[in-house]
Amino acid sequence: MEKENDLSNYRKVYQKSELGQNDIPQDPMTLFQRWFYEVEKSGSVDEVNAMTLTTIGLDGFPKNRVVLLKRFNENGFVFFTNYNSEKGKAIAVNPHVCLSFFWPAMERQVIIKGTAHKLAENLSDGYFESRPRGSQLGALVSDQSEPLVSREYLEDKLKKLEAEFQGKEIPRPNYWGGFTVEPHSVEFWQGRPNRLHDRLLFKLVEDYNWELIRLNP
Ligand SMILES: Cc1cc2nc3c(=O)[nH]c(=O)nc-3n(C[C@H](O)[C@H](O)[C@H](O)COP(=O)(O)O)c2cc1C
């Protein structure tokens, strides 16, 4: 690399919003829902449902990657993937994961620690059926996270499968489906001036009962 990359002057003043004490619901999912749709309505975030998923890998290292949130309710956050992928194998051994959202346009971050559970088969079937055919075939074609000999091999495999399934329904492969991340803690970060940001941490005490802690920024 040819030049030194000094980013110490990159600075921003956060002042778009705040997390006032009167404004906080009893449970984090209600606050998450409110934030999610506020960000969506602002129209300034491209993929509001894109989130970072961190797993602890079989090699002992954490790994982050982006996946798409496809459903959320009081039970948790759902994403879909290949169960044989690197993340799938990691979750099979250690289901403790972290999800995070960064919505820069609203100066917001949400961090969720939780446990991932495979989604019920009928719900994975339902979502798979709702996907465009191209995405369905993509799930069949890709041995996600395994080494690939060449791009041509992949495209060739897709053509063969297109021919094989022409005019037929494409079944969901059993190695592809959803995970629900059941939250243990949810932390909300709202950027504020002078680096005195608002941070609210919800910790699960027992079923649907949350302790609320305000954290130093
Ligand atoms: C915007 C975006 C959305 C993505 N959505 C998904 C997704 O919903 N499911 C998925 O398996 N991979 C998704 N990916 C790809 C993953 O980031 C990752 O490359 C892939 O799942 C393999 O990860 P792994 O080898 O760590 O298992 C997405 C990537 C980006 C950038």
Total residue count of the chain as it appears in this document: 217
Chain segment 59-92, per-residue pLDDT in tens: 999 999 999 999 999 999 999 999 999 999 999 9
pLDDT band at 147 (very low <50, low <70, confident <90, very high): very high
Max intra-chain CA distance, the chain? 61
Chain segment 124-140, per-residue pLDDT in tens: 999 999 999 999 999 99
Question: If you search the block for the tokens 């041509």, which residue do you land on?
Answer: 152
Q: What is the pLDDT of residue 23?
A: 80
What residue's CA is closest to ligand 1, atom 13? 67
Q: Of 65, 151, 172, 195, which one is the catalytic site residue? A: 195
- β-partners of residue 214 are 200
What average pLDDT score do residues 139-149 get?
Answer: 96
Q: Nearest Cα to 109, choosing from 34, 45, 199?
A: 199
Q: What is the pLDDT of residue 207?
A: 87
Q: What is the pLDDT of residue 70?
A: 98
Candidate of 45, 56, 59, 68 to mutate for ligand 1, largest count of ligand atoms within 8 Å of Cβ: 68
Q: Is 195 a catalytic residue?
A: yes
Candidate of 48, 54, 59, 67 to mutate for ligand 1, largest count of ligand atoms within 8 Å of Cβ: 67
Residue 105 DSSP class: G
Confidence check: pLDDT of 208 > 90: no
d(CA 139, CA 96): 25
Give the mean pLDDT of the chain: 95
d(CA 184, CA 63): 20
Residue 163 DSSP class: H
pTM, full prediction? 0.96
d(CA 120, CA 97): 19
d(CA 208, CA 92): 25
Nearest ligand 1 atom, CA 55: 26
Cα Rg, the chain, nearest whole Å: 20
The reply to whether ligand 1 has any atom less than 6 angstroms from the CB of 145 is yes
Chain segment 160-187, per-residue pLDDT in tens: 999 999 999 999 999 999 999 999 999 9
Q: Who contacts 55 (Cβ-Cβ below 8 Å, separation ≥6)? A: 62, 63, 86, 87, 90, 91, 94, 97
Q: What is the pLDDT of residue 21?
A: 81
What average pLDDT score do residues 7-12 get?
Answer: 91
Confidence check: pLDDT of 22 > 90: no
What angle (nearest 5°) sits at the alpha carbon of residue 191, between those of residues 79 and 4? Answer: 90
Chain segment 185-197, per-residue pLDDT in tens: 999 999 998 889 9
Helix, strand, coil fractions of the chain, as percent rounded to 5:
30, 35, 35
d(CA 64, CA 117): 18
